[in-house]
């Protein structure tokens, strides 16, 4: 089992350019035999509030077609972020694209202050992803601030907790501490993907990371550059490495 976290610096509202970064990251991951890759919160659009409805995706969106084909070709599960529109409700979503051409969606359950003006929270869309011997649960950003979220993931059988976030430099140290505690308390491996660079007028904190179920940090990226974090489970031991993305 090999999994990866993509640390990206999306261009605000530039979906075409951001998708190209996704394609390139997926290709790099494929060369390293990755089975699953996760991108940060709203990775396709960059973090948006005011313009989110205009940029929003649907689960049948034609702009996802190449990602779906890459998932099939590379035999890789993709977790990508975007604002998602269902009927007239707008959610912060993580789209789970599988090699069988299917797409499911996770929706952010706990919103940051101010996000409620633009987005709806929802507990309705919460898939448990089955991959090899792992049961995978997804979180988006502020979800990790509420300990009930990680506890609920464990309750439904998750062995791997994946957090897709946009945290600033001032918040990333606390995020690391929180996710390490969740890993140990809930006996779940934890993978986190964050932005680098700037988005929505704010600096982002980078330091995408992986913790094993004992809460030990196995590997993390820096706080500046885009890159790929890869961890492999061999004989029940996780080994990690990082790759730069240019």
Low-confidence ranges of the chain (pLDDT < 50): none
Q: What is the pLDDT of residue 236?
A: 85
Contacts of 90 (CB under 8 A, 6+ apart): 52, 53, 56, 83, 84, 118, 119, 120
Domains of the chain: total: 1
Got the DSSP string for 41-105? TTTTT-S-STTHHHH-B-TT-GGGHHHHHHHHHHT-EEEEEEEEEETTEEEEEEEEE-TTS-EEE
Q: Which domain holds residue 44?
A: 2-244
Is 0.85 topped by the overall pTM? yes
CATH number reported for the structural domain that contains residue 150 in this entry = 3.60.110.10
Which pLDDT belongs to residue 245? 87
pLDDT attached to residue 201: 86
Query: 239: which strand partners?
Result: 232
pLDDT of residue 45: 97
pLDDT given for residue 174 in this prediction: 96
Query: Could you tell me if 15 and 44 are in contact, meaning their C-beta atoms sit under 8 angstroms apart?
Result: yes
pLDDT single digits (tens) 146-174: 999 999 999 999 999 999 999 999 999 99
| The predicted structure's pLDDT at residue 51 | 95
């Amino acid at each position: 089992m090999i999994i990866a976290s993509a640390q990206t610096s999306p261009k605000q509202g530039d979906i075409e350019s951001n998708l190209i970064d996704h394609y390139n990251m997926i290709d790099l991951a494929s060369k390293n035999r990755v089975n699953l890759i996760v991108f940060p919160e709203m990775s396709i659009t960059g973090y948006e509030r005011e313009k989110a409805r205009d940029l929003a995706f649907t689960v049948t969106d034609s702009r996802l077609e190449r990602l779906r084909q890459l998932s099939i070709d590379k035999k890789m599960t993709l977790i990508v972020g975007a604002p998602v529109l269902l009927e007239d409700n707008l959610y912060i979503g993580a789209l789970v694209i599988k090699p069988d051409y299917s797409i499911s969606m996770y929706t952010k359950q706990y919103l940051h202050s101010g996000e409620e003006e633009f987005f709806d929270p929802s507990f309705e869309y919460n898939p448990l992803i089955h991959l090899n011997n792992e049961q995978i649960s997804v979180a988006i950003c502020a979800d990790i601030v509420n300990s009930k979220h990680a506890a609920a993931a464990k309750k439904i059988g998750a062995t791997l907790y994946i957090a897709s976030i946009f945290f600033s430099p001032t918040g990333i140290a606390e995020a690391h501490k929180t996710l390490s505690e969740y890993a140990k308390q809930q006996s779940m491996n934890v993978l986190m993907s964050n932005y680098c660079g700037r988005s929505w007028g704010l600096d982002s904190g980078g330091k995408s990371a992986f913790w094993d179920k004992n809460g030990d940090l196995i590997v993390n990226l820096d706080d500046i550059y885009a890159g790929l974090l890869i961890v492999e489970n061999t004989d029940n031991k996780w080994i990690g490495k990082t790759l730069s993305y240019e």
